[in-house]
Structure 1
Amino acid sequence: ASLKAQLAEAKYNLEQTIVRAPSDGYVTQVLIRPGTYAASLPLRPVMVFIPDQKRQIVAQFRQNSLLRLAPGDDAEVVFNALPGKVFSGKLAAISPAVPGGAYQSTGTLQTLNTAPGSDGVIATIELDEHTDLSALPDGIYAQVAVYSDHFSHVSVMRKVLLRMTSWVHYLYLDH
């Protein structure tokens, strides 16, 4: 009976150590060692899970632009890692809140010392399919331009500037 109880306890403990992914994807940065205690609460993950999904770019825009941005607007993206290339996409969504509107109870007085320019509007850009994008890691830096109907004749200048920026990425002085 004692061996059956030990076996049942071992099976239970094994079931408690299995981590299941919420969707298709892969795990990176497993931050666990033998003896580390993993728990679902408080939320302290021991690994980073990256879901398989269509690549999206999250961009921050000045609040002045908010009234001119609309889902479906054309967008272009350049990556430092892919100089000379411009990728097209669409503005998919605009976040309904800015970071300054989020508060969390901490037991201390809240402050409003946000740095200028750090409280922009967050928008999601969905890129068109392109083979070069698969080589880029998630979280890589990019520059984004969204073209609205407002002052559309001036967007030609923005397109030229974005392409010039992409060409400048051929020059890097790391060595």
Structure 2
Amino acid sequence: MLIAVGIVVTYIVFVWLVFFRFRLLKFNIVWGIVGFWVGVHMLLIFLIALRFFQPFSIDGHVIRPTVQLVPRLPQPTILKEVLVTSNQQVKAGDVMYQFDRTIYEANLAANQAKLVEAQQNAKMLDVDVQQANDAMAEAVANRTYAQEEVKRYTDLVPKGGARQETLDKWIQQLAAADAQVAEAQANITKAELARDAKIDGINAQVYGAQAEVAKSQYYLDQTTIRAPEDGIIVTQQARPGLVVGNRRIAALAVLVADADPYMLATFYQEHLKFVEPGQEVEVALDIFPGQIFKGSVEAVWWGTGQGQIKPSGNVPTFRFPKVQGRIAVQIKVDDPALKRFPAGVHGAVAIYTGLGKGFEPLRRINIRLYSWANLLFPLNL
């Protein structure tokens, strides 16, 4: 806008000098129409070139990744210590919150005992298989002996050498021996199935007990909340005595990460015709009036909320006219002169596509005027 005003003022001064100050030409209706026509088109040429070849936005904000610090505890637990304060810088691994460990240490000890018991039971399964095999051998021996006796008495009874009752007795014992062998075989199968029930080569009961120990250890570790990465703590309101657990939804605080900050600026869609990643960018941050920072285009976010229809049972409703959604461009600011890059800082962004080189100085003047104006505005003295 300032450039457009400057162009108009310069052209008006030029017309005034030619027609009124030095009277180089005589002003009339024809010259008036021509002058107005030329002035308008001159202004349009500059405006169109700047809008497409050097897009400009005053809707830029610094974005920093954040981590919501939410306790991951399965049951109500008392917060014992708060070791951080708001606006405190922390390093990855620093202890920030300590919760009561009593319940979780007890759960871990109980599950460790169950693991030892499961390991002992797993060793006894081999003994059970051996006992089943021994019982099978005994049952087979009894059946063999009964078979021999039945055969012997079957020969003696017709000859009068033995009584029929004795033969009947051994026939019954042979049937019992057959049943004993079948039972022994079933016991062997059961013992072998129990022994061979494994996951990744580990007995199933031991595997399950190990999983319970791992889960108990995980929740015990969660009683100590450590910084996941370098950053600064904001909105820290937690106090010792606070009870958290499986029903808590809100975070204790927010960690604003030091790594990977970027700037997000929105542009009218038609102004991004020639914008590509890697192009030069200049940024004027309101927090640093009078300074210009260098950067580059990282990505164009080709999407807006207007392009999304969320699954629902309602038929989409469209109402026109509707204001077009602006497209966001992700900017990487890598100027070594930048001392601070706080989250949420506002600023202006100018992108230089490499086209229309003759118009670049105007855009560079434009963004510098914006930066210098921040020395005065807003006028809240």
Considering the TM-score relative to the shorter chain, is it more than 0.5? yes
Alpha-carbon distance in structure 2 between the residues aligned to 1:154 and 1:18: 58
Q: 1:6 to 1:143 in 2, by over 3 A?
A: closer
Question: Unaligned stretches of 5+ in structure 1?
Answer: none
Corresponding residue number in structure 2 for 1:95: 301
Of 19-28 and 86-95, the range deviating more from structure 2: 19-28
- CA-atom RMSD in angstroms: 3.3
Q: Deviation at 1:31?
A: 5.0
Match for residue 126 of structure 1 among 317, 321, 332: 332
Aligned counterparts of 2:238 and 2:286: Cα–Cα separation in 1: 33
Matched, 1:75 2:310: no
In structure 1, give the amino acid aligned to 2:276. Answer: A
Work out the CA distance in 1 between the residues paired with 2:315 and 2:223: 40
Cα distance change, pair 14–30 in 1 and its aligned pair in 2 (3 A):
farther
Q: Deviations over 1:3-28 (max 9, x none)?
A: x9784149956534433544333332
Determine if contact 2:104/2:220 at 8 Å carries over to the other structure: no
1:35 aligns with 2:243: yes
Matches within 5 A, 1:140-159: 140-159=345-364
Q: Secondary structure at the match of 1:149?
A: coil
Aligned mates of 2:252, 2:307 — CA distance in 1: 29
Provide the rounded CA distance (Å) in 1 between the counterparts of 2:362 and 2:347.
19
- Is the CA contact (8 Å cut-off) linking 1:38 and 1:46 kept in structure 2? no
Q: Larger C-alpha radius of gyration, 1 or 2?
A: 2
What secondary structure is seen at the aligned counterpart in 2 of 1:125?
Answer: strand
Identify which of 117, 139, 145 aligns with 2:344. Answer: 139
Relative distance call for 1:6 and 1:102 in structure 2 (3 A) is closer
Name the aligned partner's letter for residue 66 of structure 1: L
Aligned-partner residue type, residue 371 of structure 2: S
% identity of equivalent residues: 25
Distance, in Å, in 1 between the alignment partners of 2:247 and 2:339 is 34
Q: How does 1:6-45 map to 2 (within 5 A)?
A: 7-9=105-107, 14-32=220-238, 34-37=242-245, 44-45=250-251
> How has the CA–CA distance of structure 1 residues 9 and 72 changed in structure 2, closer, same or farther, with 3 Å as cutoff?
same
Tell me, in whole angstroms, the C-alpha distance in 2 between the residues paired with 1:142 and 1:63: 19
Q: 2:323: which partner in 1?
A: 116
AA paired with 1:116?
Answer: V
- Partner letter of residue 150 of structure 1? L
Residues 8 and 36 of structure 1: is their aligned pair in 2 closer, same or farther, counting only changes over 3 Å?
Answer: closer
Of 11-20 and 92-101, more deviation after overlay is shown by: 11-20
1:58-88 Cα distance to aligned partner (Å, 9 max, x none) = 1111100222100111100001121111111
Q: Compare the two structures and name the one with the higher helix fraction.
A: 2
CA distance in 2, matches of 1:76, 1:106: 43
Q: SS where residue 68 of structure 1 aligns?
A: coil
Q: For 2:266, which of 52, 60, 67 is the aligned residue?
A: 60
Q: 5+ residue gaps in structure 2?
A: 1-101, 110-215
Q: Which has the higher contact order (CA 8 A, sep 6+)?
A: 2
Separation in 1, partners of 2:103, 2:361? 74
**Residues 22-46 of structure 1, C-alpha deviations (whole Å, 9 max, x = no match):** 4333332235452355769x7x544
Deviates more, 1:58-67 or 1:5-14: 5-14
Tell me by how many angstroms 1:149 deviates.
Answer: 2.5
